[in-house]
Amino acid sequence: MTTTIRAADIARINRALPFWLSLLLVPVAIISALFGGWTVLLMPVASWGMFSLLDAILGRNANNPDPETPLSGLFWYRAITILWFPVQFTLLLWLLYYVPRADHLGAGEAVLIFFGMGVISGTVGINYSHELMHQKSKIERWMGDLLLASVLYGHFRSEHLRVHHLYVGTPRDPVTARYNEGFHRFFPRVLHQCLRSSWQAEKAMLSRRNLPVTHISNPFWRYATLQTGMVMLAFVIGGWAGLALFLYQAFVAIWQLELVNYVEHYGLTRRHLGAGKYEHVLPRHSWNADHKASNWLLINLQRHSDHHYKPDRRFPLLQTYTTDEAPQLPYGYPVMTTAAMIPPLFRRMMNPRVRAWRRMHYPDITDWHSYNKALNPAPR
């Protein structure tokens, strides 16, 4: 009996182990800081480059786990997301202390090292916070808030839960990239529209409880407090140079997040039913990608069709879909987000797929003008 239990535990650990590969990015960042020179370029290679190469070698994973797997069977999957904040936070503090004082590092090298830190904070940290914010556990939600505070983007939780999931694929969702909207127009737009829409969503929530927007239960108080603490800590540890580098890594992390947001729903819309109502969210309203290696790094975020269809489903249990059920990205997020930085290339890759998706699911809609217009979220 003991042998059977032990074998089952080992099997669970082995299945979860690939999702711990993100930890390998930590020594890469440390090596970059200790040695400088060409090593400061290792982070983009180790993250985007290595996982794109592994996707090409390992291919796709079309297997679907049992969605009824109990929470007890997900311990080793949950553990990496909970442990990640202390790991990332320790690395960030060490870099803030070490890099401004390192005589062997020039200003350009310091900037590139913190670009790499921003890649970690955005590609891994914000992604893990996304998983954690969807959970009911207080410790998981707190870990999510702390990860977002470390990149000064706390309001993302309110925007994601109270706006994006409700209004994805509609004009009320700032994050849904419209057909032909390039990333360089999308990015500055979402920076201010998401802040506004998240504030309006929390204000409306408080109003329904007959509470003023200044009430202590408004999570923006928590976001502001945590982020102020992070800024002060960065200054105390690294001085003005450390503060500047901290702000830079936060910007890089936010840029990484919004690149992913841009790709996830580009050109996809829900049918307007009239009177301001839209059809229910279905798997076909998000781009799906089941590339094996990049899903290890991104804890199955690329199975985004299922995440929006079943938002409460934890990342190890997310399902993938066939082309009949959900639109498919040609490559994983590392390649697709790189392509998004070159709008003509991205449109060449994606516009034919959007048009094919429209013909498949909405052949009766002939005028897409209102669906293509720039997003202007309505006030709540």
Question: With DSSP H G I counted as helix, E B as strand and the rest as coil, what are the percentages for the chain, rounded to 5?
Answer: 70, 0, 30
pLDDT score at 61: 94
pLDDT at 380: 35
Write down the pLDDT at residue 9: 75
**pLDDT digit string, tens, across residues 20-49:** 999 999 999 999 999 999 999 999 999 899
Task: Name the residue with higher pLDDT: 8 or 67.
Answer: 67
Distance of alpha carbon 321 from alpha carbon 305, whole angstroms: 8
The set of residues, in sequence order, having a beta carbon less than 8 Å from that of 78 and lying 6+ positions away, is: 140, 314
Residue length, the chain? 380
Task: Name the H helices within 209-365.
Answer: 219-265, 292-297, 304-309, 333-340, 343-361
Instruction: Identify the pLDDT of residue 373.
Output: 65
pLDDT at 4: 52
Per-residue model confidence as pLDDT tens digits over 80-111? 999 999 999 999 999 999 999 999 999 999 99
Spell out the domain ranges in the chain.
Answer: 21-57+76-287+327-372
Residue 3: is its pLDDT beyond 80? no
Q: What is the pLDDT of residues 149-183, one digit of tens each?
A: 999 999 999 999 999 999 999 999 999 999 999 99
Q: What is the pLDDT of residue 372?
A: 73
Summarize pLDDT for 134-149 with one digit per residue, the tens.
999 999 999 999 999 9
Which of 43, 233, 40, 242 shows the shortest CA–CA distance to 150? 233
Angle among Cα 95, 19, 353 to the nearest 5 degrees reads: 100
pTM over 0.85: yes
pLDDT digits (tens, 9 = 90+) for 338-348: 999 999 999 99
Chain center to CA of 8: 32
Q: In the predicted model, what is the mean pLDDT of residues 302-319?
A: 96
Mean of pLDDT values over 214-243:
97
Mean local confidence (pLDDT), 274-288: 94
Q: What is the mean pLDDT of residues 349-356?
A: 97
**Mean per-residue pLDDT over the chain, rounded:** 94
